[in-house]
Amino acid sequence: MVNAYDGNAADILEPRERAMVEERARLLGPAYRLFYKRPVHFVRGEGVWLFDTDGNRYLDAYNNVASVGHCHPHVVDAICTQSQTLNTHTRYLGQPILDYAARILKTFPPELSHVMFTCTGSEANDLALRIARAFTGKQGVIVTENAYHGVTESIAAASPSLGPDIAGRKRIKTVPLPGEGQKAGAQFADDVRKAAAGFEEEGVGLAALLVDPIFSSDGLRPDPAGFLRPAIDEVHEAGGVFIADEVQSGFGRTGSHFWGFERHGIVPDLVTMGKPMGNGHPVAAVVAAPAVVAPFGKSVRYFNTFGGNAVSCAAANAVLDVIEREQLTANAVAVGAYLAQRLHRALTGHPAIGAIRTVGLFAAIDIVEAETGKKPAPQGADRIVNAMCDKRILISATGREGHTLKIRPPLIFETGHVDILVEALCDIIGTPTHDIRAGENPTDEV
Amino acid sequence: MVNAYDGNAADILEPRERAMVEERARLLGPAYRLFYKRPVHFVRGEGVWLFDTDGNRYLDAYNNVASVGHCHPHVVDAICTQSQTLNTHTRYLGQPILDYAARILKTFPPELSHVMFTCTGSEANDLALRIARAFTGKQGVIVTENAYHGVTESIAAASPSLGPDIAGRKRIKTVPLPGEGQKAGAQFADDVRKAAAGFEEEGVGLAALLVDPIFSSDGLRPDPAGFLRPAIDEVHEAGGVFIADEVQSGFGRTGSHFWGFERHGIVPDLVTMGKPMGNGHPVAAVVAAPAVVAPFGKSVRYFNTFGGNAVSCAAANAVLDVIEREQLTANAVAVGAYLAQRLHRALTGHPAIGAIRTVGLFAAIDIVEAETGKKPAPQGADRIVNAMCDKRILISATGREGHTLKIRPPLIFETGHVDILVEALCDIIGTPTHDIRAGENPTDEV
């Protein structure tokens, strides 16, 4: 795994952390992974900050779960109040689920008018595939080469980033990440068409194309906006459905739009969402076109004990309150633009920087070998991620080669936080920071 | 579905509830189901009581999720305090997950020394099957005829109670519910052996036997304690593993033991848990023998964004506090015995009662046609369940024929609540209640 703690390097840890790492292995077993060469131990969170046991604060430029900020008081209040009042399931009538359902559906095109609740993005994607397979009567699912969609058996198979040892991949085909530039759409559509034809030949048939509309786990590929459209047309032509996995791209992350698919001017057949939906409370959902969910709903009932319970809906509702009240999509546009500008000014042209891609409050920086300026340098990326952690700034790495820095802060990130982040990056990478701090030299772009 | 609201009977609803039912269908789509002919609308919960919009209180004799009582203040406090402090994931070090892991593992035999966290029982069972398949290199899973284990694609296939239209059942074989009496163990083992042999012949191989140790969804079959042992031996003989699904039987439900499998004097290879674990907060887990999880952990990492996060562990920890402080397993023994005694005295011999089975605070009553005294009467059960709801007492029905009343109250149920429940049942079924109210005529048995 990219940015994983190496269990053989325990001797560099402080005794207390070393003991915790050993206790984890003993209690939780071998399948768990920690971040960083020196795993960090947090005891408190507030806004964009996480605090360790010594009271040191870390700038969180990675976690999109606490999207409206760690321990946001409005979300905490909603969870407490509802937990004190009622927390039961969806086989009784209740107002919270209806209020939230109506509210979240208003953020979608009118074609998408049903919402079903789960607890995790994995469950949402798993359910979306069940619905897609019931609708099409086919089994095949197309995903990108380094996609990550979750951890149920069905969805782990559709997550190549989990590695080659995942079972059950006969119903999955991967397509390369879309290229860059104006040909991206045609190339991606062509690859999708070929994969669909392959499924048809094998008698598997095409159920769905499942992608994150900004391709986060493939290293972020947001542009050119609109390039997904031809591929969706191919999928529909082949009788499949298009599922937009908005777990990373949704809830205003892209700034310009509430959902990542909107940037492409398309309407998915199914949309899944998760991580930021409850700011850490386990709630997730599938949004669907009624015709697509009809065959599933007719023959198969769905009940998720905790999914859509009163507390989950209260938490999710409070998150929408905060996004609206604090104008966090506008903030993602403004602070995202400032982040992009600072990264480009500071790093473009540096021999170890292959590319910088951004969308809203999400930035990806390819680290390459300085000698060639091209060859992916995952060890270089790993070094930067860990050096950033030593400076108490949290980022990670991603992409098939693991050489892409992943910067995906809470949506409340401010320009001052960008300054801290970029200056630390420049210090580590070894390049002047260019004096465009927001406070000192504001520009119209910001 | 047993005890489902019939969408064609909307005309018997009050206008307000009818509007809510219609809004649900419009917003949530066709896969959701409500309980009862007249669905109930709850706005508040406290202890064993749920309150509707008019302030009427309903005695909850069904929900095992709110196992320590609806909105238990200690659990609510733990959720609030931790939500205000920190709620992040397992890729940073954190004490709450280690404390809870150590505490829950102490309730297991020493062979079961790893715990992995998910958000739902479905995810826990899905993960357990992934682990079992990785360990055995085989695919086949044996479940009982009317088992329910969850709703991911993989686990829905292993849940015959969801109906015949579930996909992907090639890797699943069902065995009949164990018979009663001393031959139950031999018969069940024989059926399991045949199913395993069938998988072997088909080249699928046996991965696991997955059962709820008290067979809740099959209509409750706890006795004779120990009857599972020969089947487990057959599974091991065939190279498979035994998974105990403790979602319904765990956390003290059976009274005499903390886990359902303990009644049988067996040690499973994997144990899954869910519903009552966080008293409504979405938290679930898999407990495993290290050797069983080793092949999975070696080749496949596991990360569940919300699984085992700080708030989930705080909620789960508080539930254990309450179970210990309020001595709820002892309460399940005492009040369960009183419930069993009152049910047997009141109903045994009634022509419409086929059988009464109980274990701890869980009772199942088979409703049969009075004429024959044998033929399952699901409509009779449905009538009783709805009449109980009209009397503001919540129970449901279960079993392959849907003729078994399911009584599974929170573990804080008291003898006075049993009195209310049994007297209402007797009134509906039409039999004298026998005067053995706890307060009036306590016995040593109670």
- Rounded Cα gap, residues B193 and A235, in angstroms: 45
- Rounded Cα gap, residues A166 and A155, in angstroms: 10
Whether A305 sits inside 8 A of B134 (CB atoms) is: no
pLDDT of residue A182: 83
- Rounded Cα gap, residues A240 and A416, in angstroms: 46
- Rounded Cα gap, residues B52 and B32, in angstroms: 21
Residues B224 and B151: beta-carbon distance below 8 Å: no
Whether B299 sits inside 8 A of A156 (CB atoms) is: no
Residues A131 and A296: beta-carbon distance below 8 Å: yes
Q: Which residues of A touch B24 (CB under 8 A)?
A: 93, 97-98
Minimal Cβ distance to A40: which of B24, B80, B93: B93
Whether A86 sits inside 8 A of B296 (CB atoms) is: no
Whether B40-68+328-429 and B73-325 share one fold: the answer is no
Decide if B107 touches A, using CB distance below 8 A. no
* pLDDT digit string, tens, across residues A174-188: 999 988 888 999 999
- Rounded Cα gap, residues B125 and B150, in angstroms: 7
- Collapsed DSSP state (helix, strand, coil) of residue A392: coil
DSSP string, A137-181: S--EEEEETT----SSHHHHHT-GGG-TT-S-GGGEEEEPPP-SS
Residue type, A368: V
- Rounded Cα gap, residues A385 and A391, in angstroms: 10
Decide if B437 touches A, using CB distance below 8 A. no
- Cis bond upstream, residue B432 (ω within 30): no
* pLDDT digit string, tens, across residues B217-252: 999 999 999 999 999 999 999 999 999 999 999 999
Altogether, the residues listed in chain A come to a count of 446
Whether B28 sits inside 8 A of A116 (CB atoms) is: yes
Torsion of CA B194, B197, B199, B203, to 10 degrees: -160
* pLDDT digit string, tens, across residues B266-287: 999 999 999 999 999 999 999 9
Which of B110, B291, B120, B133 lies closest to B210, judged by CA?
A: B133
Q: Per-residue pLDDT averaged across B432-441, rounded?
A: 57
Whether A301 sits inside 8 A of B45 (CB atoms) is: no
Among A232-236, B249-253, B296-300, B401-405, where is mean pLDDT lowest?
A: B296-300
pLDDT of B182 > 90? The answer is no
Which residues of A269-408 form beta strands (DSSP E)? 270-273, 284-288, 353-358, 363-367, 393-394, 396-398, 404-407
Torsion of CA A177, A183, A273, A143, to 10 degrees: -40
Whether A309 sits inside 8 A of B280 (CB atoms) is: yes
Whether A90 sits inside 8 A of B32 (CB atoms) is: yes
DSSP state of B63: -
Which of A44, A34, A43, A28 lies closest to A9, judged by CA?
A: A34
Minimal Cβ distance to A50: which of B88, B154, B303: B88
Residues A303 and A92: beta-carbon distance below 8 Å: no
Residues A175 and A209: beta-carbon distance below 8 Å: no
Token pair, residue B343, equals 């049910």
- Chain A residue with CA closest to B287: the answer is A28
Residues B49 and B70: beta-carbon distance below 8 Å: yes
Place of tokens 């009195």: B419
Element spanning B50, H or E: strand B49-52
Would strands A284-288 and B206-211 be described as parallel, antiparallel, or unpaired?
unpaired
C-alpha triplet B148, B129, B268: angle, nearest 5°: 85
pLDDT of B57 > 50? The answer is yes
Looking at the domain A73-325, which fold is it?
A: Aspartate Aminotransferase; domain 2 (3.40.640)
Mutate to test the interface with A, among B87, B129, B292 (most CBs of A within 10 A): B87
Radius of gyration of chain A measured on its C-alpha atoms: 22
pLDDT of residue A432: 74
Segments of chain A with pLDDT less than 50: 440-446
Q: How far apart are the first and last CA of chain A?
A: 35
Q: At what angle do helices B121-136 and B290-299 cross, to 10 degrees?
A: 90
Place of tokens 């940015």: A3
Radius of gyration of chain B measured on its C-alpha atoms: 22
pLDDT of residue B116: 98
Q: Which residues of B touch A301 (CB under 8 A)?
A: 1, 4, 31-33, 162-163
Whether A45 sits inside 8 A of B152 (CB atoms) is: no
Provide the β-strand partners of residue A116.
A286
Which residues of B368-412 form beta strands (DSSP E)? 393-394, 396-398, 404-407
With a CB cutoff of 8 Å and minimum separation 6, the contacts of B167 are A130, A133, A134, B153, B157
Helix ranges, B57-120 (H):
73-85, 95-105
Decide if A205 touches B, using CB distance below 8 A. no
Q: Which residues of A touch B280 (CB under 8 A)?
A: 83, 87-88, 306, 309, 311
User: Taking CB atoms and an 8 Å cut-off, how many pairs form between chains A and B?
Assistant: 332
Whether B303 sits inside 8 A of A154 (CB atoms) is: no
Decide if B280 touches A, using CB distance below 8 A. yes
Decide if B84 touches A, using CB distance below 8 A. yes
* pLDDT digit string, tens, across residues B106-151: 999 999 999 999 999 999 999 999 999 999 999 999 999 999 999 9
Residue type, A194: K
Residues B71 and A86: beta-carbon distance below 8 Å: yes
- Rounded Cα gap, residues B439 and A57, in angstroms: 59
pTM (2 decimals)? 0.96
- Rounded Cα gap, residues B403 and B397, in angstroms: 7
Token pair, residue B352, equals 């419409």
Place of tokens 């669907």: A288
Q: Which phi and psi (to 5°) does residue B200 adopt?
A: -60, -45
Element spanning B39, H or E: none
Chain A, 238 to 277: residues with Cβ < 8 Å from chain B are 274-275
pLDDT of residue B442: 39
Would strands A172-175 and A140-144 be described as parallel, antiparallel, or unpaired?
parallel
pLDDT of residue A442: 39
pLDDT of residue A436: 57
User: In angstroms, what CA-CA distances link A63 with A49, A67, A126, A149, A392?
Assistant: 11, 7, 23, 17, 14
Decide if A170 touches B, using CB distance below 8 A. no
Token pair, residue B55, equals 């302030």
- Rounded Cα gap, residues A28 and B304, in angstroms: 13
Give B281→chain A minimum CA distance, Å: 7
Whether B84 sits inside 8 A of A90 (CB atoms) is: no
Decide if A167 touches B, using CB distance below 8 A. yes
Residues A206 and A171: beta-carbon distance below 8 Å: no
- Collapsed DSSP state (helix, strand, coil) of residue B42: strand
- Rounded Cα gap, residues B369 and B357, in angstroms: 18
- Chain B residue with CA closest to A26: the answer is B114
Mutate to test the interface with B, among A16, A26, A85, A92 (most CBs of B within 10 A): A92
C-alpha triplet A426, A428, A433: angle, nearest 5°: 15
- Rounded Cα gap, residues A65 and A281, in angstroms: 9
DSSP state of B405: E
Token pair, residue A28, equals 């939780």
Minimal Cβ distance to A300: which of B31, B88, B105: B31
- Rounded Cα gap, residues B160 and B148, in angstroms: 7
Decide if B40 touches A, using CB distance below 8 A. yes
Whether B42 sits inside 8 A of A93 (CB atoms) is: yes
Residues A139 and A241: beta-carbon distance below 8 Å: no
Whether A123 sits inside 8 A of B152 (CB atoms) is: yes
**So where are chain A's domains?**
40-68+328-429, 73-325
Minimal Cβ distance to A93: which of B20, B129, B304: B20
Looking at the domain A40-68+328-429, which fold is it?
A: Aspartate Aminotransferase, domain 1 (3.90.1150)
> What's the distance, CA A30 to chain centroid?
25
Whether A154 sits inside 8 A of B156 (CB atoms) is: no
Which of A240, A300, A248 lies closest to A272, judged by CA?
A: A248
pLDDT of residue A435: 54
pLDDT of residue A211: 98
Side by side, the strands of the sheet bearing A353-358 are A353-358, A363-367, A404-407, A396-398
Provide the β-strand partners of residue B49.
B46, B59
Which of A59, A57, A37 lies closest to A48, judged by CA?
A: A59
Decide if A9 touches B, using CB distance below 8 A. no
CB-CB neighbours of B137 under 10 Å: 11
Decide if A334 touches B, using CB distance below 8 A. no
Q: Which residues of B touch A305 (CB under 8 A)?
A: 65, 120-121, 274-275
Q: Mean pLDDT for chain B?
A: 95
Element spanning B445, H or E: none
Token pair, residue B205, equals 């191989």
Decide if A216 touches B, using CB distance below 8 A. no
Element spanning A267, H or E: none
Altogether, the residues listed in chain B come to a count of 446
- Rounded Cα gap, residues B137 and B132, in angstroms: 8
Q: Per-residue pLDDT averaged across B32-50, rounded?
A: 97
Q: How many helices (H) does chain B have, and how many strands (E)?
A: 12, 15
- Rounded Cα gap, residues B200 and B188, in angstroms: 18
C-alpha triplet B318, B393, B36: angle, nearest 5°: 105
Decide if A166 touches B, using CB distance below 8 A. yes
Minimal Cβ distance to B28: which of A50, A95, A114: A114
